[in-house]
Amino acid sequence: MNRTLLAILGVVCAISAQAKIVTQTVEYQQGDTTLEGYLAFDDSITGKRPGVLVVHQWMGLTDYEKHRAEQLAQLGYVAFCADIYGKGVRPKDTGEAGPLAGKYKGDRALLRARVNAALDVLEKNQFVDSKRVAAIGYCFGGTTVIELARSGADIAGVVSFHGGLDSPTPADGKNIKSKVLVCHGADDPFVKPSDLAAFEDEMRQANVDWTLIKFGGAVHSFTQPMAGNDNSKGAAYNEKADKRSWEAMKAFFAEIFK
Amino acid sequence: MNRTLLAILGVVCAISAQAKIVTQTVEYQQGDTTLEGYLAFDDSITGKRPGVLVVHQWMGLTDYEKHRAEQLAQLGYVAFCADIYGKGVRPKDTGEAGPLAGKYKGDRALLRARVNAALDVLEKNQFVDSKRVAAIGYCFGGTTVIELARSGADIAGVVSFHGGLDSPTPADGKNIKSKVLVCHGADDPFVKPSDLAAFEDEMRQANVDWTLIKFGGAVHSFTQPMAGNDNSKGAAYNEKADKRSWEAMKAFFAEIFK
């Protein structure tokens, strides 16, 4: 718009480019189970800052989530990737991932315990302002962060990217204290219309502060390049929806971390 | 996050505050009908810039839309408020507004002609980069900007705020060249679930680039303070949804005006 403005924004970008991202593998416990998460933060920032928990899709904690954590660290947040499955439990293919994800989706109490254990690690991190914490998740992780909210976690917000939205106990919506943003592929065949409707009703009944974005032309896994580009498979990457949902998340954080 | 960054952003804000907004009433024609629109732009900016058409709600062109145009001018756009009803045709109450809005909703060809006449004024403005034009609208105006897209207008995007989404000719979705963003109150009783479903199908069938945001807890007119605060009336202001939808529009413009 304006050359002076552009020049100044150029300086801002240059400053951002000086970020020094530090990453660490972090072991922690839930009950008797050892879990292995992944921390990322910008070492050039001093003082406490907001924290963002990142919950993995059904394949477990992979480089994908680690990269998201690094992106969040570049935005100035302390990011911590949860490990829901346990140290060393990393499915080698979808055949192994299905039953694992199913186990936790079928035992929401255990799922809540696992995600809350990861939240606890993040909130106790020395650089995290524990009053400004959010959680994001992909697919299975999207379900998990909504389940985290349903567990009554006292955090600022959760963001689900193409997560399953069903709940065996819809009345638990009343426990939700955090704001909820759902980024949903409008053509996602893995989230039934009845699940979507039930989710909306759960939010309404419980008077939750919620927003749902439907991305046209997007199916399941729309943020994940490894899903390929064939919508007919029901899961595929969609660059526009990926970028737009990331921007929506940033706007959500700008609001809740004020 | 960072004191240097904050200091620089402070300078950016100070520059924005120097904007000098100029406004003008503009007479124009559609067929034999004289219409009276309202232009707003920042006189401190030189050169061409994106243009945004603003279409009024059922009460016709009021100070509400003029204020939105001024807000858009402050963002650096040339904004032009359309007048769909005609010069001097300004309903004094909802009793007058209903039949007027109904007339144009019932004659989509006329509605398209009226909104395209306003678009023409905007695109010919000396400060407008006619390759970077969008249209936004509220309630009746939301319906109108989607109808503008359905007319085949070659613009970058349209944004509907709590607009009606029904179409008597869903096959016209195939004419849509612009990107579409719909900001919708999740509890809006004036947009039937069947209209919403039909709209989504229209977008799908025509392979439109579309996004729909459902704002939880919001009913019709959620951007309009004059609607009051009683959701049980079906139309009410919702500050959160107002601010969030405005931010979503800004992000949409940032993408389409690149």
**Per residue in B78-103, pLDDT tens?**
999 999 999 999 999 999 999 999 99
Interatomic CA distance for residues B43 and B87, integer angstroms:
26
- DSSP letter at A12 equals H
End-to-end CA distance of chain B: 27
- DSSP letter at A229 equals S
Q: What is the CA radius of gyration of chain A?
A: 18
| pLDDT range class, residue B19, cuts 50, 70, 90 | confident
Structure tokens at A108: 């929401």
B208 at A interface, C-beta within 8 A: yes
Mean pLDDT for chain B overall: 94
Interatomic CA distance for residues A244 and A213, integer angstroms:
10
Candidate from A5, A203, A217 with C-beta closest to B12: A5
Q: Which of A7-11, A227-231, B127-131 has the lowest mean pLDDT?
A: A7-11
Identify from A214, A238, A239 which residue to disrupt to test chain B contact, counting B C-beta atoms within 10 A and taking the largest count. Answer: A214
- DSSP letter at A188 equals -
Interatomic CA distance for residues B244 and A228, integer angstroms:
32
Q: What percent of chain A has a predicted confidence (pLDDT) above 90?
A: 93
Q: Can you give the pLDDT at residue B136?
A: 99
**Mean pLDDT along residues A236-258:** 98
C-beta atoms of A212 and B210 within 8 A? no
Judged against a pLDDT cut of 80, whether residue A151 lies above it is answered with: yes
Overall pTM > 0.95: no
Judged against a pLDDT cut of 60, whether residue B1 lies above it is answered with: no
Q: Can you give the pLDDT at residue B167?
A: 97
**What are A15-31's pLDDT values in tens digits?**
455 679 999 999 999 99
Mean pLDDT for chain A overall: 94
Interatomic CA distance for residues B235 and B58, integer angstroms:
13
Q: Which residues contact A77 (CB under 8 A, 6 or more apart)?
A: A41, A49, A50, A51, A52, A253
Question: What is the CA A182 to chain-centroid distance, rounded?
Answer: 10
Query: Between B13 and A101, where is the model more confident?
Result: A101
Rounded to 5 degrees, φ, ψ at A219 are -110, -165
Q: Which residues contact B95 (CB under 8 A, 6 or more apart)?
A: none
Judged against a pLDDT cut of 80, whether residue B14 lies above it is answered with: no
A244 at B interface, C-beta within 8 A: yes
Residue with tokens 């904690």: A61
**What are B175-187's pLDDT values in tens digits?**
999 999 999 999 9
B239 at A interface, C-beta within 8 A: no
Interatomic CA distance for residues B76 and B98, integer angstroms:
34
Q: A73-103 b/e with 16+ CB inside 10 Å = b?
A: bbbbbbbbbbbbbebeebbeeeeebeebbee
3-state helix, strand, coil in chain A (%, to 5): 40, 25, 35
Q: Can you give the pLDDT at residue B7?
A: 45
A144 in Cβ contact with A62 (< 8 Å): no
C-beta atoms of B15 and A1 within 8 A? no
B162 sits in the region (left: phi over 0; alpha: psi -120 to 50; else beta) called left
Q: Which residues contact A235 (CB under 8 A, 6 or more apart)?
A: A190, A219, A220, A221, A224, A227, A228
Judged against a pLDDT cut of 80, whether residue B6 lies above it is answered with: no
Reference A135, options A126, A118, A125; nearest CA is A118
Q: Can you give the pLDDT at residue A2?
A: 46
Please report how many Cα atoms fall inside a 13 Å half-sphere around the Cα of residue A15, on the Cβ side.
18
Reference A186, options A213, A166, A150, A154; nearest CA is A213
Rounded to 5 degrees, φ, ψ at B47 are 85, 175
Structure tokens at A78: 């302390």
Candidate from A1, A15, A210 with C-beta closest to B4: A15
Give the residue ranges of DSSP H helices in A92-192.
94-105, 108-124, 140-150
B5: closest CA of chain A, how far (Å): 6
Q: Can you give the pLDDT at residue A19?
A: 76
Strand partners, A134: A52, A157
Candidate from B15, B209, B215 with C-beta closest to A5: B15
Residues of chain B with C-beta less than 8 angstroms from the C-beta of A16: 5
B198 at A interface, C-beta within 8 A: no
Angle of helix A108-124 relative to helix A94-105, nearest 10 degrees, comes to 90
Judged against a pLDDT cut of 90, whether residue A122 lies above it is answered with: yes
**What are A50-98's pLDDT values in tens digits?**
999 999 999 999 999 999 999 999 999 999 999 999 999 999 999 999 9
Strand partners, B184: B214
Secondary structure string (H, E, C) spanning chain B: CCHHHHHHHHHHHHHHCCCCEEEEEEEEEECCEEEEEEEEEECCCCCCEEEEEEECCCCCCCHHHHHHHHHHHHCCCEEEECCCCCCCCCCCCHHHHHHHHHHHHCCHHHHHHHHHHHHHHHHHCCCEEEEEEEEEEECHHHHHHHHHHHCCCCCCEEEEECCCCCCCCHHHHHHCCCEEEEEEECCCCCCCHHHHHHHHHHHHHCCCCEEEEEECCCCECCCCHHHCCCHHHCECCCHHHHHHHHHHHHHHHHHHCC
- DSSP letter at A87 equals T
Judged against a pLDDT cut of 70, whether residue B5 lies above it is answered with: no
Q: What percent of chain B has a predicted confidence (pLDDT) above 90?
A: 93
The SS3 call for residue A83 is coil
| pLDDT range class, residue A200, cuts 50, 70, 90 | very high
Residues of chain A with C-beta less than 8 angstroms from the C-beta of B202: none
User: Which H or E run contains A76?
Assistant: none
Q: Can you give the pLDDT at residue A18?
A: 67
| pLDDT range class, residue B34, cuts 50, 70, 90 | very high
B215: closest CA of chain A, how far (Å): 5
A4 at B interface, C-beta within 8 A: yes
Judged against a pLDDT cut of 80, whether residue B15 lies above it is answered with: no
